């Protein structure tokens, strides 16, 4: 895979993973309020934090130089 191909899929991949983790975190948060209060929050909070990291991820230096 060339650098140009990698740069083309970098942002959509980060966005897709971020949205998936956001949906998963919100689902776990809903479960934490209905079924397992402590365990649900223990799993939901890190997943929500990870989704924020992926959604705000900047492009790598290699791809920023290309544009």
Residue pLDDT, tens place only, 17-47? 999 999 999 998 888 888 888 888 888 999 9
In the prediction, which pLDDT does 34 show? Answer: 84
Closest of 25, 52, 18 to residue 40, by C-alpha: 25
Closest of 47, 52, 44 to residue 28, by C-alpha: 44
Mean pLDDT of the chain: 82
Range with the poorest average pLDDT among 12-16, 42-46, 63-67: 63-67
Domain positions in the chain: 3-66
**pTM of structure:** 0.76
Q: At what angle do helices 37-55 and 3-34 cross, to 10 degrees?
A: 160
């Amino acid at each position: 895979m060339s650098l140009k191909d990698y740069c083309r899929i970098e942002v959509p991949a980060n966005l897709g993973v971020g949205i998936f983790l956001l949906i998963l975190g919100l689902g776990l948060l809903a479960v934490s309020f209905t079924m397992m209060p402590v365990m649900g929050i223990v799993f939901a909070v890190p997943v929500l934090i990870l989704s924020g990291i992926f959604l705000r991820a900047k492009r790598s230096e290699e791809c920023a130089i290309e544009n």
